[in-house]
Structure 1
Amino acid sequence: MDVTKEVFGYIDDQPVTLYTIKNDNGLQVECINYGGIITKILTTDRDGNLENIVLGYDTIQEYEKNSPYFGAVVGRVAGRIKEGKFSLEGNTYQVTQNENQHHLHGGYKGFSQVLWDTNVIEKENEVTIEFSYFSPDGEDGYPGNLQMNVKYTVNHDNELIISYYGFCDQTSLLNVTNHTYFNLSGNLKRDVLDHELTINSDKFIELNEELLPTGKIADARNTVFDFRKGRKIREGVHSTHPQNILVKKGYDHPFLLNANHQNEIILADQDSGRTLIVETDEPSVVLYTGNKLEGELSIRGTKARNYLGLCLETQAPPDSIHQPHFQSAIIKKGKSYETKTKYLFTVE
């Protein structure tokens, strides 16, 4: 295992550090302490070509100015909170409304937009970059002083393991995920429309026009939301299902997982031979297929377009504070939050 670090840029005269981890099989993971952002993941295709399989930038200025959460840790709460309001233990809280009147991905000073402290832990068969951040009571409107730690561990089994740990001194909300956009073609040679995705799930959460959960848990079976036997992304993009059309043709939906740590999510690109297997202890995964990437962005020389990457955001269901039948995102005073997601990179 090999790990190096260098200065990636500066924010408010503070250095941003880039960490590069390489294992003996060619897997390379690069990340920075701004937002805990994964900037690159390099893996080999079936012909041995080492290429980047995630969306990201080469400068800190691009991440600061115009990034749709590329590769970032998002929180305190991933997804949307309706009107940025919620009640806990008899108290009502107003968090920042950074998407229309709603709260999205932690607000204006969410985890994706702060400098994290770092610690490098080297072992014989793995390297861990540990990010830590103290979020004070009232930051973005959330109650409680929160200590958050996120670990990225890369090993010789071609695994990237992301471990999350949080502790809060007041009852609050916490639902953290990683927002990496994957494209297994390598160096953005193609979009993800012909990527085949398998999810062990027969239920998804219905959304309204503001992309908030309606509260309905819909039956995915025998619909374009049924990924149990594998399905190409383009099927949802070309679908006439009202939920696909609602999110601008594609997917931006939470899927409730039927199993954990059992190869429950598999993404494959037939042309390159690359396969990504995701296992988690979270109850759901939000599939976002990059339906709104098109615009003025340029991603390492490639003009942004829809479906250039997709996200697999393992987490508790969004806006659960307003949907009591969803798994809760409440962290009780003095209790810890712990969750883990593993990404295995293989070639077929």
Structure 2
Amino acid sequence: MKVKKQYFGDLAGETVWQWTMINDHGMKMSVLNYGAIVTSVETIDKFGEFANISLGFTKLEDYLAYSPYFGAVVGPVAGRITKGQFNLDGNRFQLSRNDGANSLHGGKGNFSKRMWDVTVEEQPDQIVMTFYYQWADGENGYPGKIDTKMMYTLNNKNEWIINYEAETEKPTIYNPSNHIYFNLTGDAGSTVLGHQLMVNSERFIPVDDGTLPIGEIRPVKDSIFDLQAAREIAEITSSDDEQIKIVGAGLDHAFILKHENEHPDAVLFETTSGRCIEMETTSESVVIYTANSLSSKFEIDKKPVPKYAGITMETQGLVDAINQPGFGDIVLRPGETFKANTTFRFTVDRRNI
């Protein structure tokens, strides 16, 4: 195991650094202190070739100009909050709005736009990067100072583990996630339409044309949302299901996870490369987004990035839970510690070489 640190850019008088963690099998992860952004994840395919399987840029300027949260931590609350408003303990709070009338991923200047303090610990079988940020009381309208700690671990099992922790001095809401986009072909100019996706879930959250929950929890049975057996992404995006069409012909939905022992919560597989990701999390749900809004407005590796160029697995509590009865509790109170863990396990199917 080893780690390298290099200059990535300057932002408002602060240096943006990139750390590259490398395990004993040659897997690499590169991460910034800006937004805790994962700029690349390099894994091997069944032919022995390494490639970056995440969408990301090589220049800070591109993250500032274009990035739709590529590889970044988002929060304090991931997803949309209706009108950026919520009630807590009899008080009404207004958050900054950055998605029309709504607040998205924490509002303007959310976690993905902040400079994080970073420490790095090299251990025999893993490298642990720990990120710290203190969210000020009232920042973006959120009540309470939030002391945030997050760890990215790369180990010799070819796992990327995310550990989230947070504490607050006042009652607040907290529900972060990581917004990494995967494309297992290793080619950002291609799509994920040929990928196979399995999600171990019997229920999902339908949305309206603003991608806000309509307040229902629906069974996936007998619908295109039944991913308990793997489906090809192209089958999903071409469905005439109204919920698929309403978000731009794809997925942008939360699936409530079953959390069965010895079963991953989700699996993403690409046949040609043999690359596979198994995801396990302690979070209640995963938001699957098939990059329906990308439209070749920017390039990666001199290739226009098309619609469906990547797919996310954003693990979190249910979207807009603070405003939706029956969607669970995302309130964090003094004396409590928020904790959540997510593991992405990278494997290769070497059959049919």
Q: Which residues of 2 match residues 176-191 of structure 1 at below 5 A?
A: 176-188=176-188, 190-191=190-191
What is the rounded CA distance, in whole Å, between the counterparts of 2:190 and 2:242 in structure 1? 27
SS at 1:213 equivalent = coil
For the Cα contact (< 8 Å) 1:260–1:279, is it kept in 2? no
Q: Once the 2 structures are TM-superposed, how far is the Cα of residue 30 of structure 1 from its aligned partner?
A: 0.4
- Of 300-309 and 49-58, more deviation after overlay is shown by 300-309
One-letter amino acid matched to 1:76 = P
Aligned to 1:317: 318
Number of residue pairs matched? Answer: 348
Indicate if the aligned counterparts of 2:215 and 2:325 stay in contact, CA closer than 8 A: no
1:280 matched residue in structure 2 = 281
Q: Distance in 2 between matches of 1:42 and 1:114?
A: 25
Q: Which amino acid aligns with 2:286?
A: V
Cα shift readout 1:144-178 (whole Å, capped 9, x = no counterpart): 00011111000111000000000111110000000
Secondary structure of 1:190's counterpart equals coil
- Tell me: CA distance 1:67–1:260, structure 2 relative to 1, closer, same or farther (3 Å): farther
- The correspondence of residues 144-155 of structure 1 with structure 2, limited to 5 A, is 144-155=144-155
Q: 1:344 and 1:42 mapped to 2: Cα distance?
A: 13
Please say which of residues 100-109 and 255-264 is displaced more in the overlay: 255-264
Q: Distance in 1 between matches of 2:256 and 2:112?
A: 25
In the TM superposition, what are the counterparts of 1:185-200 in structure 2 within 5 Å? 185-188=185-188, 190-200=190-200
Shift of residue 324, structure 1, vs aligned partner: 2.2
**Percent identity of paired positions between Structure 1 and Structure 2:** 38
Question: CA separation in 2, counterparts of 1:272 and 1:221?
Answer: 31
Query: What are the equivalent positions in structure 2 for 1:224-303 lying under 5 Å apart?
Result: 224-259=224-259, 262-303=263-304
Q: Deviations over 1:68-112 (max 9, x none)?
A: 000000000000000001011111100001110000001111000
Q: TM-score scaled by structure 2?
A: 0.97
Choose 181-190 or 238-247, whichever is displaced more.
Answer: 181-190
Instruction: Check whether the contact 1:134–1:145 (CA below 8 A) recurs between aligned residues.
Output: yes
CA deviation after TM superposition for structure 1 residue 225, in Å: 0.4
Alignment of 1:18-37 (within 5 A): 18-37=18-37
The answer on 1:129 being equivalent to 2:129 is yes
Alpha-carbon distance between aligned partners in 2 of 1:188 and 1:80, rounded to the nearest angstrom: 27
Structure 1 partner of 2:208: 208
Aligned residue type for 2:310: G
Name the CA distance, whole Å, in 2 between partners of 1:155 and 1:317. 29
Tell me the equivalent position of 1:306: 307
Q: How much does 1:300 deviate?
A: 2.6
Task: Give the gaps of 5 or more residues in structure 2.
Answer: none
Contact kept, 8 Å, 2:189 with 2:304, in 1: the verdict is: no
Deviations 1:209-255 (A, max 9, x none): 11100111111112110000100111111000000000010100000
Tell me if the contact between 1:260 and 1:282 (Cα under 8 Å) persists in the aligned partners. no
Q: Which moved more, 1:76-85 or 1:289-298?
A: 289-298
Using the alignment, how far apart are the partners of 1:38 and 1:187 within structure 2? 17
1:49 is matched with 49
- Aligned residues: CA RMSD: 0.9
Q: CA deviation at 1:260?
A: 5.5
For residues 141-180 of structure 1, the aligned pairs below 5 Å read 141-180=141-180
What amino acid is aligned across from residue 231 of structure 2 in structure 1?
Answer: R
Q: Which amino acid aligns with 1:177?
A: S
Letter in 2 for 1:79: G
The structure 1 segments of at least 4 consecutive aligned residues displaced by more than 4 Å after TM superposition are: none
Distance 1:134 1:231 in 2: 41
Task: State how far apart, in whole Å, the 2-side matches of 1:37 and 1:209 are.
Answer: 29
State the alpha-carbon separation in 2 of the partners of residues 54 and 245 from structure 1. Answer: 25
Q: Distance in 2 between matches of 1:49 and 1:334?
A: 49
Q: Give the Cα separation in 2 of the matches to 1:159 and 1:27.
A: 10
TM-score by length of 1: 0.98
**Does the aligned pair in 1 maintain the 2:39–2:57 contact within 8 Å?**
yes
Matching residue's letter, 2:212: L
1:110 maps to amino acid: N
Please say if residues 260 and 280 of structure 1, whose CA atoms lie closer than 8 Å, have aligned partners that are also in contact: no
- The structure-2 alpha-carbon separation of the partners of 1:188 and 1:66, relative to structure 1 and needing over 3 Å to count, comes to closer
